[in-house]
């Protein structure tokens, strides 16, 4: 039997197992011990730093979604930002991803959110096709940028590039 439920602090190990699966799929390093400890801490924080939804098949975790709130100044409404959605590949095609998206939309609407946003790796054609089939619109006018921790530290210390000081 399939069940979807909110994940809590007791689910940290199960969620991290699935995060490992996502890392493997995306050819990224798995979270190290310190990151795993922060993840478990942040899952238990009050108020929570993120929300998690877990899908279990016969009691075995097979997928998860993690999200948090952002805010749109132009809509003057919060947005649901989907950080991760992952279903173990052996469960693809069973409607789990769609069920996650339906649940996230319902939660966003109930909370008065104006939109749901996420990012997709450009090479992940399976995910792109899935989202397009749901009616999602690919955004082309906004480009994602990121400052990782070392770059934030350099910039905060005043050691950014000359172009960043203009």
H/E run at residue 67: strand 60-72
Name the active-site residue from 71, 113, 131, 145.
131
Whether 131 is a known active-site residue: answer: yes
Q: Within the chain, where are the H helices?
A: 12-25, 33-43, 96-110, 125-134, 149-156
Give the up-direction half-sphere exposure of residue 36: CA atoms within 13 A in the CB hemisphere. 15
Q: CA torsion, points 150, 151, 152, 157, in degrees to nearest 10? A: 90
Catalytic residue annotation: 131
């Amino acid at each position: 039997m399939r069940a979807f439920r909110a994940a809590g602090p007791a689910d940290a190990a199960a969620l991290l197992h699935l995060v490992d699966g996502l890392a493997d799929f995306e050819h990224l390093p798995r979270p190290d011990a310190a990151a795993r400890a922060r993840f478990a801490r942040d899952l238990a924080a009050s108020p929570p730093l993120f929300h998690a939804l877990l899908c279990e098949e016969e009691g075995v975790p097979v997928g998860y979604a993690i999200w948090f709130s952002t805010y749109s100044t132009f809509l003057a409404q919060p947005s649901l930002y989907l950080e991760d959605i992952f279903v173990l590949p052996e469960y693809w095609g069973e409607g789990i991803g769609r069920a996650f998206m339906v649940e996230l939309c319902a939660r966003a609407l109930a909370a008065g959110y104006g939109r749901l946003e996420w990012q997709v790796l450009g090479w992940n054609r399976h995910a792109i096709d899935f989202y397009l089939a749901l009616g999602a619109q690919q955004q082309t006018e906004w480009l994602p940028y990121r400052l990782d921790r070392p770059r934030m530290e350099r910039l905060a210390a005043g050691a950014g590039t000359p172009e960043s000081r203009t």
